[in-house]
Structure 1
């Protein structure tokens, strides 16, 4: 059974707008527009989109914070709003703008309270807490009040709090915000190990595309309240119509792009190193790298080459653009 099941889910808000001098009227704003998706147990799914695309609204409906305007949603077999208390024992949530830690208490004092809230015995929560503290290097600031922690330290504490009760589903909103590169990688390794070893399902929203590439096999791209893409990361390039770039170093200089006799669909981008290095872009849906290389090799001897894929940020930007046209 899917751990998340969303069918024709929508949410609209009523806002007030100007209707002339001294007059205002209500206007319906659609934050989410009839989205459908499922997430299977043990999956790691990236849920990404621009600010205002509908990510946070979706997450709030999944966790029972918001009531859908229409459609159906089940999470861990529960209807999130009427069964919110039961659902809370099955999920862990990290919101970048909200804390589940006690602001004025030392960090370590929050975990016994959280263990009691989840009805865990000390024999259950304490070994788990020690494991999490060790894995995320919390020891050096466990006695520091939460309000005195840096953003990166607090986020590590928040992730530990979300995982304390071994939830089936963990929803993470910007989990690596404020972390340095080493801390980011350690947290990614921990989350990946948690998923592989315990079967924990991860739903990740972030603007750091390195988190998506490192943790997720599948990505959902939401734009203007609709799902613009649902599939593997590798499929983003094809859907977005992105081009690849081939950089070739020739054995002898060629100073004119016309001499390379490129096939239709390949575009010569630049000449560098006094005619030695040439950059050629092409659409992988129309041409293979082998075809482009064969054309270049027929005109000049290739000494070295490299292929450059578009980065994920570029692909997502292109996907947004195509979804709005």
Structure 2
């Protein structure tokens, strides 16, 4: 469902070094990246800030064109078939919204239906299903700008799935959510993958998301794939547990100091 072969992405960065001088350097955000995600997999895509996760996501969705290599998502080249691909994938960026800020959530969904040319009856059935499992009913008629973060994220997930795509790409979908909202989003994503067989690629810094959702994890570091396997296998590569002992030799109180061992 997702295939990358030798993919690279470089950026040219210019920095002012004087009144009339600039320094140019090339930054390699992604280097020779290769992996495959099979239909129905739920894969966690991990890495520190600046490792290349977001760059990879943008290339998978056609926002960026790779400098080198080959990408196929749902059988399509994202950079060449971006419009066609948009009907086969759903994308959620946790720190951005695809909803219309001043419109009620329901109106945003209707606009998305027209953008994806979803049949009215199919849309109605899909919205009812998503509304029930994501508990959207109480705020469907609330303007997006008045929604809480948890409500807005659930709205974004519903918007990404209204056209029933076989691939769902999630970039930090639970960032900033409270415990209850996180649990609701995780339960929904797990059921979506198990019941509908939707292929999910998830980037996150929340280990709880990975532990509860992903059977496979990939770790990217400095633009290259550093690990591909199960979470227990990844944790086994970590250094052994370290114990630090501290000995207090002086204990002070507010009124007067005292000696202690």
Using the size of structure 2 for normalisation, the TM-score is: 0.89
Counterpart of 1:81? Answer: 79
Q: Please give the alpha-carbon distance, in whole angstroms, between the structure 2 residues aligned to 1:170 and 1:33.
A: 24
Q: Please give the alpha-carbon distance, in whole angstroms, between the structure 2 residues aligned to 1:146 and 1:20.
A: 46
Tell me: higher relative CO, structure 1 or 2? Use CA pairs within 8 A at least 6 residues apart.
2
1:90 aligns with 2:84: no
Q: Please give the alpha-carbon distance, in whole angstroms, between the structure 2 residues aligned to 1:175 and 1:63.
A: 16
**Cα distance, 1:138 vs. partner?**
1.3
Counterpart of 1:193? Answer: 191
Counterpart of 1:10? Answer: 8
CA contact (8 A) 1:125 1:165 kept: yes
Q: Please give the alpha-carbon distance, in whole angstroms, between the structure 1 residues aligned to 2:18 and 2:241.
A: 51
**Cα distance, 1:228 vs. partner?**
1.1
Counterpart of 1:125? Answer: 123
Q: Please give the alpha-carbon distance, in whole angstroms, between the structure 2 residues aligned to 1:83 and 1:237.
A: 38
CA contact (8 A) 2:95 2:172 kept: no
Q: Please give the alpha-carbon distance, in whole angstroms, between the structure 2 residues aligned to 1:110 and 1:161.
A: 8
**The residue matched to 1:175 in structure 2 has which SS?**
coil
Counterpart of 1:72? Answer: 70
Counterpart of 2:36? Answer: 38
**Cα distance, 1:269 vs. partner?**
7.4
CA contact (8 A) 1:155 1:177 kept: no
**The residue matched to 1:120 in structure 2 has which SS?**
coil
Q: Please give the alpha-carbon distance, in whole angstroms, between the structure 1 residues aligned to 2:32 and 2:18.
A: 32
Q: Please give the alpha-carbon distance, in whole angstroms, between the structure 2 residues aligned to 1:224 and 1:11.
A: 12
Counterpart of 1:113? Answer: 111
1:243 aligns with 2:248: no
Q: Please give the alpha-carbon distance, in whole angstroms, between the structure 2 residues aligned to 1:191 and 1:45.
A: 12
Q: Please give the alpha-carbon distance, in whole angstroms, between the structure 1 residues aligned to 2:178 and 2:66.
A: 37
**Larger Rg, first or second structure (1 or 2):** 1
Greater shift, 175-184 or 130-139, is seen at 175-184
Cα deviation, 1:60-93, whole Å, max 9, x if unaligned, reads: 0000000100011100000001101111111000
**Cα distance, 1:244 vs. partner?**
5.7
Number of aligned positions between the proteins: 245
Taking only aligned residues, the RMSD between alpha carbons, in angstroms, comes to: 1.6
**1:159 alignment partner, one of 141, 157, 160:** 157
**Cα distance, 1:19 vs. partner?**
4.6
**Cα distance, 1:208 vs. partner?**
1.0
Counterpart of 1:226? Answer: 224
Cα deviation, 1:197-254, whole Å, max 9, x if unaligned, reads: 11100100111110111110011111111111111111012333x3269xxxxxxxxx
- Structure 1 regions of 5+ residues with no counterpart? 246-267, 271-325
**Cα distance, 1:21 vs. partner?**
5.9
**The residue matched to 2:237 in structure 1 has which SS?**
helix
**The residue matched to 1:16 in structure 2 has which SS?**
strand
Counterpart of 1:213? Answer: 211
Q: 1:8 to 1:137 in 2, by over 3 A?
A: same
Counterpart of 1:184? Answer: 182
Q: Please give the alpha-carbon distance, in whole angstroms, between the structure 1 residues aligned to 2:105 and 2:74.
A: 29
